[in-house]
Amino acid sequence: MPTDIRDVVVDEAAYDRRRLRQWLAGRARADGVARRDVLRLLAASGLATGLPAVLATTARASAGTASATGTASASAAGIVKPLPEEWFTPRGTNAETNFVSLASTGHHTPVSHFFVRNHTSTPHVDATAWTLKVWGSGLAGDGRQFTLDDLKRLPAVTRSCVVECAGNGRSFFTSQQGQSVSGTAWTLGAIGSAGWRGARLADVLRLAGLRRDAVDVLPRGLDADYVTAGGTNLGRVRRPLPIAKALDDVILAYEMNGEPLPPDHGAPVRLIVPSWVGIASIKWVGDIEVSDEPLFSPWNTDFYRLFGDAYPPEGSSPLSRQTIKSAFELPWNASLPAHANHRLTGRSWSGAGTIARVEISTDAGTTWRRAHLHDAPRRGDWVRWSTNWRPTTTGPTTVLARATDTTGRTQPQVTQHNTQGYLFDAVVRHPVTVV
Ligand SMILES: Nc1nc2c(c(=O)[nH]1)N[C@H]1C(S)=C(S)[C@@H](COP(=O)(O)O)O[C@H]1N2
Ligand SMILES: [Mo]
């Protein structure tokens, strides 16, 4: 292993170029990725010498085009748990947590309130019959199967961290910046924090015979194939993870907040990939390919890159770490009586560092003051905060929360547009009326 795992993890751009070079040499696979996507990546990488011959032997063309997102049906079909409307807003096959409902919860989000992001629907997986198959060219030997009991016999670790969709906050590209984006119109509730308990992926990979030349792992869900709105079958939900991250802090979780993992959140076992975009945390994992050649899937080529005017034609590097955000636990357009004391509460989080400070403005951004933090900031997790406000002037205004993390990043006023609306990090202007 490299001496500093984190440097390798962070430099996704270099990693991507290396993958493409290997793909050109016929040493990387891209099953289920449209030929045009790999071509686009190659064209932009400046590595495209000898392209036609390679394409003839290596690329698998897929018919049709992959749309940016699934189509949203009118209900949260396919979710098993109840979705009371005071806690959730259904969005197609997904359910967004109403942030205001988190005010009555603690640091961790109860399963009852935790958002659900399903590409298709929650499958029923029989835990007693379930096995995890670990296989591939990055292993010495034929790989290994693990039952749930096998995983539970390994040293158990608990990680307190958020799972957050890369598209969380997407609707503000439109409502706040007037830009059009595709995808589920989340406000800020495509996030939850839990105590996740399970086995280290590193332990499982080593028991399966991990070789030093392994570069990628590809965990795959047991839910149904994902078919885009345009009718292209992209296969099972799967997304490659560089080996450095896989060996760092990733777990195979079988418990959430001290209970067996519930169906909607990946029962019996899911990955938890701290600080990374939610798609990395594959639910209902059934097998993990360990490869000595780089792997591609639609979830690191078409999806989960930044496309748009500010980005190269092949898009940014694949998304890895989450961005920085804040949200109030306050109804949208809340009415607040003047000359009364109000305790404004909310949460902030960052995938890059821990939260260093949160500033609040109750006058539409003219003046700012520090919020009081209620959690010791932890990597990959959110902090709760509060501030008191006694408004005196009646009428509509906005309240704002702006976080800064330990890497020195502060939430900007505007997020650079990308077509799929990922990683919105701008300060959200939350409307209230003082009455
Ligand atoms: N197998 C599988 N894993 C998956 C998904 C999925 O649809 N199928 N959705 C991903 C996405 S996009 C997100 S944001 C998280 C959501 O996790 P949650 O539903 O437990 O909140 O799971 C990820 N893992
Ligand atoms: Mo997501």
pLDDT band of residue 229 (cuts 50, 70, 90) is confident
Least confident of 23-32, 113-122, 196-205, 332-341: 23-32
CA distance 280 to 323: 15
Ligand in closest contact with the CA of 281: 1
Contact 306, 193 (CB under 8 A): no
Residue nearest to atom 10 of ligand 1 (CA): 279
Residue among 237, 255, 284 whose CB has most ligand 1 atoms within 8 A, to mutate: 237
Our answer on whether the CB atom of 279 is closer than 6 Å to any ligand 1 atom is yes
Give the distance (Å) from ligand 1 centre to CA of residue 344. 31
> Do the beta carbons of residue 37 and residue 303 sit within 8 Å?
no
Q: What pLDDT is recorded for position 77?
A: 82
- pLDDT above 70 coverage of the chain, percent: 83
Neighbours of ion ligand 2 (CB under 5 A): 117, 165, 278-279
Segment 332-371, tens digit of pLDDT = 999 999 999 999 999 999 999 999 999 999 999 999 999 9
Residue 131 CA, ligand 1 centroid: distance in Å = 20
Helix (H) or strand (E) holding 8: helix 5-10
Res 214 pLDDT > 60? yes
pLDDT value at residue 303:
93
The verdict on the CB of residue 118 being under 6 Å from ligand 1 is yes
**Cβ atoms within 10 Å of 396's Cβ, excluding its own:** 11
% of residues, the chain, pLDDT over 90: 81
| Angstrom distance (rounded) from CA 160 to CA 198 | 12
For ligand 1, whether the C-beta of 223 sits within 6 Å is yes
Q: What is the C-alpha to C-alpha distance for residues 396 and 398, in angstroms, rounded to an integer?
A: 7
Q: Across residues 221-249, what is the average pLDDT?
A: 95
- Checking if the pLDDT of 1 tops 80, the result is no
Residue 38 pLDDT level (bands cut at 50, 70, 90): low
- Regarding the beta carbon of 117 and ligand 1, being less than 6 Å apart is answered yes
Average pLDDT over residues 159-177: 98
Q: Is 186 in the pocket of ligand 1 (CB under 6 A)?
A: no
Atom of ligand 1 nearest to the CA of 226: 7
Residue range 91-108: mean pLDDT, rounded: 97
The atom of ligand 1 lying closest to the CA of 118 is 7
Cα 39 to chain centroid, rounded: 26
pLDDT, tens only, 290-335: 999 999 999 988 899 999 999 999 899 999 999 999 999 999 999 9
Domains by residue range for the chain, with CATH: 1-321 (3.90.420.10), 324-434 (2.60.40.650)
Sign of the torsion formed by the C-alpha atoms of 332, 177, 402 and 423:
positive
Once rounded to an integer, what is the mean pLDDT over residues 86-102? Answer: 97
Check pocket membership of 283 for ligand 1, CB cut-off 6 A: yes
Query: According to the model, what pLDDT value does residue 362 have?
Result: 97
Q: Give the confidence band of 10 by pLDDT, cuts at 50, 70, 90.
A: very low
Distance from Cα 44 to the centre of ligand 2, integer Å: 26
Distance 181 CA to ligand 2 centre (A): 15
Higher pLDDT, 45 or 54: 45
Residues 6+ apart with CB under 8 A from 25: none
Distance 135 CA to ligand 1 centre (A): 22
Structure confidence at residue 70 (pLDDT): 36
How many other CB atoms sit within 10 Å of the CB of residue 212? 9
pLDDT at 178: 98
Residue 345 neighbours by CB distance under 10 Å: 18
Write down the pLDDT at residue 64.
Answer: 27
Question: How far, in Å, from the CA of 166 to the mean position of ligand 2?
Answer: 5
> Smallest Cα–Cα separation from 216: which of 292, 153, 165?
292
Q: Write out the two tokens for 320.
A: 């890895």
